[in-house]
Amino acid sequence: MTAAVPILTRRYRRTATVTDWQSAPGNTELEFTALGPGYGECLVLHLGFREWMIVDSCLTEDDEQPALQYLRRLGVDVATEVKLVVATHWHDDHVQGMQALVDACQSARFACSAVLGRKELLGAIGRRSESERTTSSGVKEMRAVLKKVAAKHRPRAPRPMWVLECTSLHYRAEPYGCEVRALSPSSRMLGLAYQRIGSLLEQSRFAQVPRDHVNDAAVALWVEAGDATLLLGSDLEEKSCKGWTAAIACGATRGGKAEIIKVPHHGSEGAHHPPVWAQLLHPRPHAIVCSFHCGNVDLPTDKDVERLCQAARLHRTTPDGVRTVLRDGRLVKAFGPMGRVTLRRTFAQGNNWDVHYEGGCTGCPPPPPT
């Protein structure tokens, strides 16, 4: 049992231990939580001193927002204590339920990628052609979010932020310093997005514009809080040096190394970039994978799990995924039970995290010593 840590405010319990999973972390405790039903993911971080951030969004089987459920269960006032909400990109499995999240977190800054793909751009400007009748639910969700933040429906919140590499999203100087910085998307990706805008203006039919790959524009985040450092990889992949190569080169990590990585793109081979593990991570970090199972796609694969277990202490959200069910006379998507992986430690504890699972989460032991 970890020694008790004094709390500096009456709002939280008087003493806390990092193994007390039913209560909110104390002022000097850090927390990283990953939530996922097998299709969709959401990250919740306590940065110390009642400052929370939420990255991406998913839904429970009952169409509820799990981050809000989790925080309220801990007694957190989401309207005032959540300081930052980030949508890393507009794919359905990352933004479902984002409207409810933004509505509830009234004091939080909203941030999303400054680089928009073709559908995302059309959604942002509210333009739809004949070919856009099949616009994904993720684009529709984000269109509604952008309308709300632009209309100042959240007067207590800072202005929304469009994110590029090296953008500082959140900063605290003391008593324990904290900063959240973006590693991506790169300026090169923004230039390519401007080219797409030119193509849209030149074409008489939007359908003639080539499709693009939204993962290239995903926001990867570097989080420093006290003496802890975390890398949140979103779905950023490595393609033609536009992804992780550019993220490493931007210098936002300032030479630091992370203790925790939210593994990018559900642990897939396309998002695995060896220099990330060599240059940005401590040896054998905690690696959290949010599983993805939909149709014929199952991530991570057995090969991915084997690779990650060799390099890290692996934790996975629930292996269940999306299925189609009949509800109120129509076919709808239903998700598996929510899995939760939570890691906590105090600022003074060093790289020594306590881990807690809920739902169908799994992990793997470290490989035997050689």
State the CATH number of the domain containing residue 182.
Answer: 3.60.15.10
What is the value of pTM for the model shown?
Answer: 0.87
Q: Is residue 370 part of a domain?
A: no
pLDDT attached to residue 221: 98
Q: Is residue 88 part of a domain?
A: yes
Q: Is residue 251 part of a domain?
A: yes
Q: Are 45 and 34 in contact (CB under 8 A)?
A: no
pLDDT attached to residue 150: 78
Q: Is residue 67 part of a domain?
A: yes
Q: Is residue 200 part of a domain?
A: yes
The tokens describing 192, both together, are 């390519």
pLDDT attached to residue 208: 45
Residue 15: C-alpha distances to residues 9, 10, 24, 25, 353 (Å): 10, 10, 11, 10, 18
Say how many domains are in the chain.
Answer: 1
Q: Is residue 367 part of a domain?
A: no
* Phi-psi domain of 21 (left: phi exceeds 0; alpha: psi -120 through 50; beta: other): alpha
pLDDT attached to residue 85: 98
How high is the mean pLDDT in each 10-residue block of the chain (370 residues)? 33 42 94 95 97 95 92 96 96 92 94 81 58 64 84 79 95 94 91 74 52 79 97 90 89 95 95 96 96 90 94 90 77 82 92 90 65
Residue 325 β-bridge partners: 332
pLDDT attached to residue 187: 87
Q: Which domain holds residue 285?
A: 5-361
Q: Is residue 202 part of a domain?
A: yes
